[in-house]
Amino acid sequence: MSAEGALANRHIVLGLSGGVACYKAADFARELVKAGATVQVVMTEAACQFITPVTMQALSNRPVYTSQWDAREANHMPHINLTRGASAVVVAPASADFIAKLAQGRADDLLSLLCLARPLAGDRGVPLLVAPAMNREMWAHPATQRNVAQIRADGTTVLGPAAGDQACGEIGDGRMLEAEELRDELIAFFQPKALAGRDVLVTAGPTFEAIDPVRGITNHSSGKMGFAIARAAAEAGARVTLVAGPVHLATPRGVRRIDVQSAEQMLAAVLPEARRHEIFVATAAVADWRPASVATQKIKKDAPSQGAGQSAGHVPALSFVENPDILATVAKLPTGERPFCVGFAAESHDIVRHARAKLVRKGVPLIVANNGPATFGRDHNALVLVDAAGERALPPSDKLTLARLLVAEIAQRCPRRASTPATATAASA
């Protein structure tokens, strides 16, 4: 999803400590600028061995700072001036040595100095985020783990690391997140935490109802709206479980995903999860019917007829049975097990009228209506919120923006449970 403008009016101090992952910092700086942020780069002496300040200056459109003795500042105090008015300090890559400095409060270069001297309290407080990057053995070392635990306790947000191939040729934890992942983590960091500590269950995408081993019935739903809602809920601080039909979309970071195919499989996945979640957003375009029977082998045409020179293929007769109504089933769970239910209505005409009928039929407090044919597969949408009191249209926008507006709306409408059942465990994509 596009991040254009997502960091508008944000000023980011981007710090680079020594490590081969400095090459990713170049892309990260570019992504921040594209997202609307202003970026001030600060590099350690070690970082300059891996990438030049000239490169970072070209990408950030600002002079790069490398020394606490930089005379460009009128008061000769860049370690003070650079963080005043900043939205955040992000150190990417953060080496094991630099994390140790943060944990111990050491400040022997400009970057560690400004981290120590940045305001912490009140409206002027400047948050610190670090993206570790190091060899897997360095990351696993007890000293590094102690230091990471200490900086977290001091209020630092740790982004990653990821597991994968490392420059040294080994494979494991310690790899810095990719530029787009870091960008999205930073965007999420600034989102209001309206669902902090709450559990949200989302369904997304179509279902696929098999006719035989190779054919089936489905619809045009891409899953983009549901995935956007899952991401927005995670950004808002929720623990999110996403039950997805057959789609080709990356799982939002921090979201636990369960893949299904058919409506019956989706119901089987949703029901036990619904009891453990406070909020259920049924975005999936679930097939209303499925074939009454599924052929065990591919249904073949008959052999061509003789005489007329044309093929007379056999047309199989299909009968259908109704699929389970997932949203209505969840909405009928006993009090204490029933989450706050939000349904989606993808209609082709008379959108509000059909959505209101669905609101009554399903017995839910909120239906979100949209024009299915106009939005399936696209990145933009227009939504109408339908409840017992009336209707309210959300302005047409990209799906992630609409998802954030919807999540804020749900947070206001949904009372917090007095006691929350066991929660689902969030996992990174």
Which are the catalytic amino acids? 168
Q: Are strands 209-210 and 216-217 parallel, antiparallel or unpaired?
A: antiparallel
Q: How far apart are CA 385 and CA 174, in angstroms?
A: 44
Q: How far apart are CA 304 and CA 115, in angstroms?
A: 78
The token duo for 217 is: 């019935």
The answer to whether the CB of 290 falls within 8 A of the CB of 349 is: no
From the centroid of its chain, how far is CA 255? 7
Q: How far apart are CA 148 and CA 139, in angstroms?
A: 9
For the chain, the residue count is 429
- Is the CA virtual torsion 76, 77, 78, 84 positive or negative? negative
